[in-house]
């Protein structure tokens, strides 16, 4: 961890030549001066996580903080979300931070371990909020060529009873009306603290779920010839599904299909079941591949009918692919280079994670970066009971968000 802190400190002092001339590192120095409070906020949020669409105390804190910075706020956006506006007339740039935790019982030895049993910030959303609030505070103390809108979003990790996530619900409540562009970040526990990952185009996968019910004819295990065994049929369906990516999708198009569950209606070894249920997910980086996989899944399941059974296939379409807009991404990339040095701005590969920031980026041009937070020699896995962040590079995220927002305001103002 000590080395990562040194990397972050070195990044803060790195010299870089901007295409615009002298580099203004005001936000970097200001974020560094606020680092202690940023980490204090992150740890407080970590202690009191709340599940998707139940972020009532978290949202109240976000609103109170934004109010104190002079933002005009509105609560209850997208059920439990908060938005805050600040600045004069001009281009509106949104900064998004997600607020929800996960249903995980934390096992870390830290003093700031979750006090809400079976709920944990196991993906870095506590860091996202702390970075967002720090960026919001810095922007409130700066003369801006436009307006900033803070989008404190609920429910990135889960959906409601209608299958809608927090981003979807906030869009229904017009959270991005009038916005020219949106930016955000995600902590990455596999990327060194002091670095950020920024790429243009597809950055994170679409993730969708499916459930297959294969119907057969049950009976006694001693007389299989009188039955239609859905377990045997299901095994062949699984094999066919696993050949979709290798044989039905181009090798130049990344995709993943996973069967995570296979349940039989029989619980005995000598009883042939009436039906089996398969549950799985698939990830893709283009809408064309997404639609192709859906069609191929149906073909694979049709094996059941040729073998005397039947099937029902249901989909739960999730978040689309997160696509970074080239123009917005370039502004963010250059801001990051000017603040922390080109050697610390990494062209990471697209991730097979899925994020509902994608829905915002479909509404308006967006850019989403990965903020290095790896604990050296102890890389933590996201969504695990032991997850934690290296906090030494968090202030860099705040600085880059604030600087990118300021530059985008000027960028759009110059285009008017």
pLDDT at 152: 99
pLDDT at 22: 61
Distance of CA 194 to the CA centre of its chain: 20
DSSP-assigned letter for residue 185: E
The pair of structure tokens assigned to 356 is 């509902």
pLDDT at 24: 86
pLDDT at 7: 44
What backbone torsions phi and psi does residue 7 show, to the nearest 5 degrees?
Answer: -60, -45
DSSP per-residue string spanning 225-274: GGSB-HHHHHHHHHHHHHHHHHHHS-TTS-EEEEEEEEEES--STTEE-S
pLDDT at 416: 85
pLDDT at 23: 76
pLDDT at 3: 39
Q: pTM of this prediction?
A: 0.90
The pair of structure tokens assigned to 325 is 């807009």
What backbone torsions phi and psi does residue 255 show, to the nearest 5 degrees?
Answer: -160, 155
H or E stretch at 165: none
Distance of CA 24 to the CA centre of its chain: 30
Residue 48 CB: number of other CB atoms within 10 A?
Answer: 17
Please report the beta strands in 78-200, taking only residues with DSSP state E, as ranges in sequence order. 81-87, 92-98, 147-153, 181-192, 196-197
Tens-digit pLDDT string for the chain (416 aa): 343 444 444 444 433 333 344 678 999 999 999 999 999 999 999 999 999 999 999 999 999 999 999 999 999 999 999 999 999 899 999 999 999 999 999 999 999 999 999 999 999 999 999 999 999 999 999 999 999 999 999 999 999 999 999 999 999 999 999 999 999 999 999 999 999 999 999 999 999 999 999 999 999 999 999 999 999 999 999 999 999 999 999 999 999 999 999 999 999 999 999 999 999 999 999 999 999 999 999 999 999 999 999 999 999 999 999 999 999 999 999 999 999 999 999 999 999 999 999 999 999 999 999 999 999 999 999 999 999 999 999 999 999 999 999 999 999 999 98
Per DSSP, the three-state class of 212 is strand
Q: Domains in the chain, please, with CATH?
A: 2-204+321-415 (3.40.630.10), 206-319 (3.30.70.360)
């Amino acid at each position: 961890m000590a080395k990562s802190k040194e990397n972050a400190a070195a990044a803060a002092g790195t010299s870089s030549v901007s295409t615009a001339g002298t580099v203004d590192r005001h936000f970097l120095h200001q974020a560094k001066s606020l680092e202690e409070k940023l980490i204090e906020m992150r740890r407080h949020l970590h202690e009191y996580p709340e599940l998707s669409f139940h972020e009532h105390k978290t949202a109240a804190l976000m609103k109170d903080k934004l109010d104190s910075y002079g933002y005009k706020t509105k609560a209850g956006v997208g059920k439990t979300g908060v938005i805050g506006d600040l600045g004069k007339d001009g281009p509106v740039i949104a900064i998004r931070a997600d607020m929800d935790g996960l249903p995980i019982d934390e096992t870390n030895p830290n003093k700031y371990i979750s006090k809400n049993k079976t709920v944990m910030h196991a993906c870095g959303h506590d860091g996202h909020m702390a970075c967002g609030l720090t960026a919001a505070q810095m922007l409130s103390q700066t003369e801006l060529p436009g307006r900033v809108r803070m989008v404190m979003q609920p429910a990135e990790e889960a959906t409601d009873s209608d299958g809608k996530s927090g981003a979807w619900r906030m869009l229904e409540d017009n959270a991005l009306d009038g916005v020219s562009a949106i930016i955000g970040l995600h902590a990455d526990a596999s990327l060194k603290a002091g670095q950020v990952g920024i790429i243009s185009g597809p950055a994170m996968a679409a993730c969708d779920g499916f459930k297959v019910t294969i119907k057969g004819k049950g009976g006694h295990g001693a007389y299989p010839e009188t039955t239609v065994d859905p377990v045997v049929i299901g095994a062949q369906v699984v094999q066919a599904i696993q050949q979709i990516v290798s044989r039905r999708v181009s090798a130049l198009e990344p995709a993943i299909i996973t069967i995570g569950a296979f349940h039989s209606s029989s619980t005995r070894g000598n009883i042939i079941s009436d039906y089996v249920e398969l549950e799985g997910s698939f990830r893709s980086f283009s809408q064309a591949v997404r639609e192709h996989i859906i069609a191929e899944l149906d073909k694979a399941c049709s094996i059941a009918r040729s073998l005397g059974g039947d099937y029902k296939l249901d989909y739960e379409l999730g978040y689309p692919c997160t696509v970074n807009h080239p123009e917005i991404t370039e502004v963010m990339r250059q801001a990051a280079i000017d603040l922390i040095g080109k050697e610390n701005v990494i062209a990471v590969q697209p991730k097979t994670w899925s994020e509902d920031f994608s829905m915002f980026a479909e509404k308006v041009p967006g850019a989403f970066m990965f903020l290095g937070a790896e604990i050296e020699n102890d890389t933590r896995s996201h969504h695990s009971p032991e997850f934690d962040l290296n906090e030494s590079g968090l202030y860099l995220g705040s600085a880059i968000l604030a600087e990118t927002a300021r530059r985008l305001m000027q960028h759009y103002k110059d285009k008017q």
